[in-house]
Amino acid sequence: MTTLAGKKTLITGAASGIGRATAMAAAAEGAELFLTDIQDEALQAAAGEIRARGGRVSVARAADVSDYDAVRELADAIHAEHGSLDVVMNVAGISRWGTVDKLTHDDWRRLVDINLMGPIHVIETFIPPMIAAGRGGHLVNVSSAAGLFGLPWHAAYSATKFGLRGVSEVLRFDLRQHGIKVSLVLPGAVDTPLVGTVQIAGVNREDPRVQKLVGRFSRHAATPDEAAAAILRGVRRDRYWVYTSRDIQLGHFFTRKFEWPYTLVMRFISSRATALQRKL
């Protein structure tokens, strides 16, 4: 089992949502935290709250994970003063949905830059020093249910989340020889600030029907604290597949064991989504 007590732990996206909740939970378990997010003011507020609770935050520094030079600068600064880390958690990400005829090139590019290249930047700057240190460690990549299922309107988002899943699947085996474990987190519905801000290309979010769907999503969503607890539980138990809700775990089992029924179900959901879009 992997314990976070005393472990130097990097968490991206730590200013809000799952990242912030994970930082709070990791601090409560005794981790030494290295936090980053693009939102500096919110990041410093989160770090201040953790310190006020008795947690240890050695670094809280804003950085845009989509900017390789910024991530490299952050990594160099941390390694120069604190040495290699023990746990690296890629949590930062954004969401944008839409059908391929509505999504713009900038939509695709921004999602890829943040959700896929962001974690890759972190991996390529923080994992090699971890390997060189020879102490083992743990890499956590937060993908999504959209990295498992062909959800309607999620082509661009799923491209990044399936991509991160693929990276994790390879590193799961490549890093094993170095004693570095990998966990792939697959959140379903989680009630984070993204719920209120996610953009749907070609759809008016203020439409009452859309608001109704958002409200239904929030009522059935896990909280960020519940998602964070699932992540830390997965790390402690050295699990590769980490689910934040039972429905995603069962759905994943279903898709692996019953591929044809899964195809039928997803076709039905997609057709219903298309019908809904025509009304909006």
Domains and CATH numbers, the chain: 8-279 (3.40.50.720)
pLDDT in tens, 25-67: 999 999 999 999 999 999 999 999 999 999 999 999 999 999 9
b/e string for 153-184 if b means 16 or more Cβ within 10 A?
bbbbbbbbbbbbbebbeebbeebeebebbbbb
What is the C-alpha separation between 254 and 187, in angstroms, rounded?
16
Structure tokens at 247: 């429905």
pTM, 2 dp: 0.87
Active site residue: 68, 157, 240, 262, which one? Answer: 157
pLDDT in tens, 168-187: 999 999 999 899 999 999 99
Q: What is the model's pLDDT at position 219?
A: 57
| 240 labelled catalytic | no
At 98, the amino acid letter reads G
C-alpha span between 161 and 165 (Å, rounded): 6
Query: Burial of 228 by CB count in 10 Å (0-12 exposed, 13-18 middle, 19+ buried)?
Result: buried
